[in-house]
Structure formats: structure tokens, C-alpha cells
Amino acid sequence: MEFRDKIAVVTGASRGIGAATARAFAQQGGIVFANYPDHDADQHREMIHAWVSDAELDAERVIPIAADVSDAIRVQAMYAEIGDRCGRVDILINNAGINRDHTVIKMTDDEWRQVLAVNLDGTFFNCRAALPLLSDGGRIVNISSVVAHTGNMGVANYAASKAGILGLTKTLALELAGRNITVNAVCPGFVNTEMAQTVPPDILERLRQRVPLKRLADVEEVVACTLFLASAAASYVTGHSLNVNGGMHMM
């Protein structure tokens, strides 16, 4: 099993891409710290227990752990707990993210700051706090977005945060190369998650038509790319952003 007894941290692991990623690591033998936010903590923890049960996973391989990623003190405390329990981290997946969509002229200061705080600050805080525990030869994979490359109407805060993640990824790749730690990003396009199901059908169809492959990505297609970058097979890949967008953006 590719990740047998590797210690992985996955942020935003209660649902969507984060839950599917954490589940995949556990299914391939990893021990996963599944992060969820302090806000509505009981609900998020139950969601983690639900997917662990549905996948018939050994509960000891998935450890729910709470921390708002936008709070540097809470993130530091989370890694202190992980260090006490395991002594190391082998893989960090920065997935936690939110959106607060409005055009720039209608976007409030709070909407701008909330998205940057969770998406970009949260990625930075987790990387910084994890580094003392991160094994030489370890892996960091940051979840960015196609809009980091293309922009999109009404998502200035989200696009800026995801573009910032790409800059952070490249910088960390340079800083950590001496420890043989690779740092990469995955840039999904439109993905068929719970969030997508809340979009009105006519708008969802317009989104599909923007994709050359004429469909949304399955969550597992994003997860497969994330696991590749976290695996031994990607040992010579670092500072890279992997596009998983059905052809919406080609580099």
C-alpha cells in the first residue's frame, strides 16, 4: 500500500475534496489527521465519523482534529498535539477553503479578508507549523484552483487567495529542496462536490459548457492527482501546479 503508516494531515477534511483525500490516504494505509473547523465543530466531526463509517475504515487510522486554519495559535496547537501523538508528519495537504462571491464593487472588506484568511493565511500557517515535524523527503500539496490562472467574474477574493497559494508553493519548494521535501499545487476546475449541487441547474449547465470535456470533474479525479504528488512516484516534481480542469486552462 502506497502510504502504509505515513502520517498525513488533511485540512478541511469533513466533506468534499478534503474528505475524499483523507479517505484515500487511509484506504492506502496512511494514518490521517482529518482537520475540521472550530465553528460548528460537532457537525463537522460527525461528518468525518460518517465517511469513516461508510468507507468501513479502521477508526484508529483517521483522527479528527479541530482547528480554524485562519487562527495561527489554533494551528500551532494542532501540530503540537500531532507531535505529541506521532512525533512527525510525512504529508501535508492544504485543502481548507471558503468562498464569498461578489463583484469587486459589491465585495465587503469582511468578505475579502475572510477568504484570504482561510485560503491563503491558512495554507501559510499550516505549512509553517508543520515544518518542524515534517520528515525529510516529505510532501506538501496545496489545493489551488483554475481561477488562480484565469480569474473569473465575482471571485476576486478567491482568485487572489488561490494565486497567492501558487506563489507560496514555489517559494517553499525552493526553501525545502535541501531537505528533499517537495511542494506542489493542484489546480482543480469545476468539481462535482456538494457545493456544486447547490448551483441552479441552468448556471451549472453553463459552467459545463465552458469546459472542453463538457463535464465537471469527479472528486476522485482531483484526489488521484493529489495522491500522485504525495507519492514516491512524484519524487522529482516540485514547485509545480498540476491543472485538473478538463481543458479550461492549458499551459
Q: Which three cell numbers stand for residue 92?
A: 501535508
pTM recorded for the entire structure = 0.96
Residue 144: pLDDT band (50, 70, 90) is: very high
Tens of pLDDT along 151-160?
Answer: 999 999 999 9
Instruction: Give me the half-sphere count of Cα atoms (radius 13 Å) on the Cβ side of residue 179.
Output: 18
pLDDT in the model for residue 154: 94
Candidates 142, 79, 154, 149; CA nearest to 112 is 154
Task: Name the phi and psi angles at 90, rounded to 5.
Answer: -100, -35
Residue 195: pLDDT band (50, 70, 90) is: confident
Tens of pLDDT along 165-191?
Answer: 999 999 999 999 999 999 999 999 999
Q: Environment class of residue 120 by beta-carbon count within 10 Å: exposed (0-12), middle (13-18) or buried (19+)?
A: buried
**Listed range (23-27, 116-120, 198-202) with the worst mean pLDDT:** 198-202
In this predicted model, which residue has the larger pLDDT, 42 or 2? 42
Tens of pLDDT along 207-234?
Answer: 899 999 999 999 999 999 999 999 999 9
Q: How far apart are CA 132 and CA 248, in angstroms?
A: 38
Candidates 114, 134, 248; CA nearest to 191 is 248
pLDDT in the model for residue 66: 98
Q: Which three cell numbers stand for residue 56?
A: 468501513
| CATH T-level topology, domain 7-191+218-244 | Rossmann fold (3.40.50)
Q: Which residues are catalytic?
A: 158
The dihedral through the CA atoms of 3, 176, 71, 163 has a sign that is negative
Query: Torsion over CA of 158, 161, 163 and 165, rounded to 10 degrees?
Result: -140
What percentage of the chain reaches a pLDDT higher than 70?
100
pLDDT in the model for residue 200: 82
User: Is it the case that residue 198 has pLDDT exceeding 90?
Assistant: no
Compute CA distances 169 → 12, 119, 130, 154, 227, whole Å: 18, 13, 14, 25, 17
Tens of pLDDT along 13-62?
Answer: 999 999 999 999 999 999 999 999 999 999 999 999 999 999 999 999 99
Give ∠ CA 211-187-101 in degrees, rounded to 5.
Answer: 75
